[in-house]
């Protein structure tokens, strides 16, 4: 049990570090996204905001798991606390995807002038932060930390720690969005194709929704004790 507690403590610290990095970058991207009128940068910034929320839920879940791991309130263990946070995270992620698509459509209808140099610089900074966050979280333990008194009741589909995976894949998805944003901005700057920026926003929003739906399905099956196929 001491090993599990050490793993949780390590993951808490790594998650908190990534939360701070994510919040700083989110504020910078959203601010400069509005200043430079870049839909791709705004999409990346707001998407990163969902990551900050997901990471916050992950951090809170680890604290609750550690606090109540021996509590009689959870006779079958506290693993589903993490699954519940992943479920909640997937809902916010899906809503953000729809919002990004709405904003992208608005920009397609009414295109705005983009200040490419500033937008590209901030997008690159965002990508660097994403890569750094991935490196930090790669060192964490992804497998679930079981706790409680009746581990024999764990289901085979709980072999994944969806609490951590939700936060981890949020960061991976954001890194991909950053790459798409940079690509759109570079093409827009050098080939004057401004419509690619909102088109990238549409693609990014659809990708976010797809990822959210997949996570939602898996977490719901665990929460209602449905066997995965």
The CATH number of the domain where 217 resides is what?
1.20.1510.10
**pTM score, whole prediction:** 0.69
For residue 142, the SS3 value is coil
Distance set, CA 26 to CA 18, 47, 170, 197 (Å): 12, 8, 13, 19
For residue 12, the SS3 value is helix
Whether 37 is covered by a domain: the verdict is yes
Does the structure show a pLDDT above 50 at 157? Answer: no
> Per residue in 61-120, pLDDT tens?
888 887 777 777 776 667 778 788 888 888 887 887 898 899 889 888 887 777 788 788
Instruction: Please choose, from the candidates 162, 26, 19, 21, the residue with its C-alpha nearest in 3D space to the C-alpha of residue 88.
Output: 162
According to the model, what pLDDT value does residue 105 have?
A: 92
Whether 103 is covered by a domain: the verdict is yes
Number of domains in the chain: 1
- What is the distance, to the nearest Å, from the Cα of residue 81 to the centroid of all Cα atoms in its chain? 18
Q: Tell me the residue range of the domain where 20 lies.
A: 2-223
Q: 132 and 21 in contact (C-beta within 8 Å)?
A: yes
Whether 148 is covered by a domain: the verdict is yes
Q: 79 and 95 in contact (C-beta within 8 Å)?
A: no
Does the structure show a pLDDT above 50 at 150? Answer: no
**Residue 76, φ and ψ in degrees, nearest 5:** -100, 15
**Residue 146, φ and ψ in degrees, nearest 5:** -75, 140
Query: pLDDT > 90: what percent of the chain?
Result: 3
Whether 228 is covered by a domain: the verdict is no
Q: 171 and 133 in contact (C-beta within 8 Å)?
A: yes
Q: Report H helices in the chain.
A: 2-36, 39-68, 79-109, 116-138, 162-191, 196-223
Whether 161 is covered by a domain: the verdict is yes
> Per residue in 73-86, pLDDT tens?
776 667 778 788 88
Whether 35 is covered by a domain: the verdict is yes
Whether 229 is covered by a domain: the verdict is no
The region that residue 217 occupies, defined by phi over 0 for left and psi between -120 and 50 for alpha, beta otherwise, is alpha
Structure tokens at 57: 């839920």
Instruction: Please choose, from the candidates 62, 78, 20, the residue with its C-alpha nearest in 3D space to the C-alpha of residue 166.
Output: 62
Q: Provide long-range contacts, Cβ within 8 A and 24+ apart, for 62-66.
A: 62/8, 62/11, 62/12, 62/15, 62/163, 63/12, 65/8, 65/145, 65/147, 66/5, 66/8, 66/9, 66/12
């Amino acid at each position: 049990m001491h090993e599990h507690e050490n793993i949780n403590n390590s993951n808490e610290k790594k998650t908190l570090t990534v939360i701070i990095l994510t919040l700083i970058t989110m504020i910078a991207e959203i601010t400069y996204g509005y200043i430079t009128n870049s839909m791709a940068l705004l999409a990346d910034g707001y998407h990163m905001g969902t990551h900050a929320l997901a990471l916050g839920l992950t951090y809170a879940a680890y604290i609750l798991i550690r606090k109540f791991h021996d509590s009689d309130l959870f006779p079958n263990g506290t693993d589903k606390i993490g699954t519940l946070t992943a479920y909640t995270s997937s809902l916010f992620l899906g809503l953000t995807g729809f919002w990004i698509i709405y904003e992208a459509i608005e920009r397609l209808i009414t295109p705005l002038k983009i200040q490419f140099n500033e937008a590209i610089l901030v997008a690159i900074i965002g990508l660097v932060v994403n890569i750094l966050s991935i490196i930090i979280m790669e060192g964490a333990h992804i497998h679930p930390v079981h706790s409680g008194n009746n581990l024999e009741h764990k289901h085979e589909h709980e072999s994944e720690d969806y609490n951590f995976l939700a936060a981890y894949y949020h960061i991976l998805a954001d890194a991909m969005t950053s790459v798409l944003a940079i690509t759109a901005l570079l093409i827009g700057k050098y080939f004057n194709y401004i419509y690619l920026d909102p088109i990238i926003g549409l693609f990014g929003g659809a990708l976010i929704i797809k990822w959210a739906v997949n996570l939602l399905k898996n977490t719901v099956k665990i929460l209602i004790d449905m066997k995965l196929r």
